[in-house]
Amino acid sequence: MKPTVRMLFVVVTLATVTTTTVAQQPAAPSSSPRIYNTVKTKLREGKQVVGGTVLVPDPEIYCTMASSGFDFVWIEMQHSPLTYQDVAHMIAACRTATAIPFIRVPDATEGDIQKAVDIGALGIIVPMVDTLEKIQNAVKFAKYPPVGRRSQGNGQYGMLWGNDYRQTANDNVMIVAMIENPPGVEIADKIAAVPGVDVVFVASTDLGSFSGFRQGDARYEALATRIFDAVTKAGLKVGGPVAWKDTRKGYSFFQAAGDTALLRNGIRAELGGGQPAASTAPRGVAPIEGNEK
Q: Band of the pLDDT at 7, cuts 50, 70, 90?
A: very low
Query: What is the spatial distance between Cα 286 and Cα 76, in angstroms, rounded to a whole number?
Result: 18
Q: Band of the pLDDT at 27, cuts 50, 70, 90?
A: very low
146 inside domain: yes
Q: Which pLDDT does position 258 carry in this prediction?
A: 87
14 inside domain: no
Q: Which pLDDT does position 274 carry in this prediction?
A: 58
Q: Which domain holds residue 180?
A: 35-271
For the entire predicted model, the pTM comes to 0.84
Residue 10's identity, in one-letter code, is: V
Q: Which pLDDT does position 32 carry in this prediction?
A: 83
236 inside domain: yes
* CB < 8 Å & 24+ apart, contacts of 248-254: 248/284, 251/48, 252/43, 252/46, 252/47, 252/48, 252/49, 253/39, 253/43, 253/48, 253/49, 253/176, 253/199, 253/201, 254/48, 254/49, 254/50, 254/51
201 inside domain: yes
CATH of residue 172: 3.20.20.60
Looking at the 3D structure of the chain, how many domains does it have? 1
Q: Which pLDDT does position 263 carry in this prediction?
A: 87
